[in-house]
Structure 1
C-alpha cells in the first residue's frame, strides 16, 4: 500500500518496489489530475478529501493490484506487497477492519480504506 509517514515506525520499500511506486505515482498523478500540493501533504500524513486525490488513491490501488476490478480490496496482494519490517499479522488485522469501508463510488471506497489503514497501523511505508 502507498502509506507515508508514521507516528511510531517507518519502513522503506525495496529498490524494485520504489521504482514501481514512483512509476504508478507518476501515472496516477497524470490520470487523476491531483495537485503536487496534495501529494506533498500526503507525504506528511495530511490527506486531501478532494476528488482528484481520491482518484489518485484508486488509480494507485488498481495499478498495484491492491484493488480488484470489482472494487474490492485484494488482501493477499496488499499483504504480499508489504516490505520487510512490516508486521504482517498486524497489517492483516487492520486490513480486515478496513476492507469493508464504503463510499459513494470506488474512489471514495479506496480513500476510506487508505485512511483506515493509515490510522490503524503503527508502521508506515516510505518510498
Structure 2
C-alpha cells in the first residue's frame, strides 16, 4: 500500500520557497519532466540526474517540502507526481510561465 509523505497544504505554500526549489537546474529538470505528463506518477529512478543517490533524495525532498511534487512511499521505492492543480490554485500562472519560458529558451549566440 502506498503511503503519502508529508507535504504542505496549498495555503501553506510559500512563493519564495517554490522559486528557491525550482532555481536549482536538477530540481527544475524534475519539475519539467513531470509537467510534460502531468498525470504521470514516476519513480525517482526515472529521472536522469548526474548526482549521487543521497543528493537525488535531497532534491526530491526540497521539491516535496515546497509543495511542487507529491511523493508516494511504496516499500523500497518512491514515486513522484507534480501537484499541478495545487500550484495553479495557489500561484495562478506561475508554473505555466516558468515551464513555457524553459521550453522557449535557446542557447545564447556567441558574440563577435
| Superposition TM-score, scaled by structure 2 size | 0.34
Larger Rg: 2
Q: Kindly indicate whether structure 1 or structure 2 has the higher relative contact order, using CA contacts under 8 Å at least 6 residues apart.
A: 1
Greater strand proportion? 2
| Superposition TM-score, scaled by structure 1 size | 0.31
